[in-house]
Amino acid sequence: MNDTVTGSITSRPSDRLADVNWALRLEWLTLVWMTVEAAVAIGAGVAAHSLVLEAFGADSIIELLSAGVLVWRLRVELRNEASFPESVERRASRIGGFLLFALSVYVMAGAIRTLWMREGQDFTITGLLLTGAAIPVMYILAKSKLRMAGRLGSGALRADAVESLTCGYLSVVVFVALLAQLLFGAWWLSGASALVLVPFLLREAREAWEGDECCHD
């Protein structure tokens, strides 16, 4: 039996297709969750005049785009099986890298604006419940995607997993910032925390764009 090779990972075709199907289910789950998350976050942000929640919703839209790219990439592999073209993986990885670059710029610009304008956010119970629920959901999704990225040797899937990690991190930032704003008036916390994330995002974006071998367990 011939092996299927993608990146640096080699596996039997039947095992690999099972992994691809599992990764595809993760991406469909991401699409459903991100649609709900984006709608609720942006709606709650507008209602509460909360720029931070609106930004969180915008990040969810970027994650939606990334998940859509991965659905395309994985379905192409399922259709082609052993003849899966490496050009598709490369293209999907570069799109994932571009989205990470865009997310880096967005997070950095939003953080700088928040700190410069001394903008906090209004407290909203809807935002608190949403971000609280997003923390475990995004952690589980990100860990599962990273594991599958390692098994499939997919830089594109790893880039998408990093965006899920980013969403989870931003969920923590917004959740803590909402509580801190309510309890202590700590308006600067969300902006400062978001800036810490930017170097990590830029590194992962570069690796996805350049196609570095980054998908080992």
pLDDT of residue 89: 77
Among the residue ranges 19-28, 59-68, 118-127, 133-142, the one predicted with the least confidence is 118-127
Per-residue burial over 7-44, b = 16 or more CB atoms within 10 Å of its CB, e = otherwise? bebebeeeebbebbeebbebbeebeebbeebbebbbeb
Residue pair 70/34 in contact (Cβ under 8 Å)? The answer is: no
Q: Which amino acid is at 80?
A: N
pLDDT of residue 212: 54
Length of the chain in residues, anyone?
A: 217
Cα dihedral sign, 97-101-106-108: positive
Domains detected in the chain: 10-208 (1.20.1510.10)
The pLDDT tens digits of the residues spanning 171-186 come to 888 888 788 877 887 7
Residue pair 141/134 in contact (Cβ under 8 Å)? The answer is: no
Cα dihedral sign, 161-66-159-44: negative
pLDDT of residue 43: 92
Three-class SS of residue 11? strand
Question: Percentage of residues in the chain with pLDDT exceeding 70?
Answer: 85
d(CA 214, CA 208): 8
pLDDT of residue 85: 67
CA distances from 164 to 1, 124, 146, 174 (A): 36, 23, 10, 15
Q: What is the CA radius of gyration of the chain?
A: 18
**Global pTM?**
0.75
Helices and strands counted in the chain (H then E):
6, 2
Does the structure show a pLDDT above 90 at 91? Answer: no
pLDDT of residue 205: 83
d(CA 42, CA 57): 5
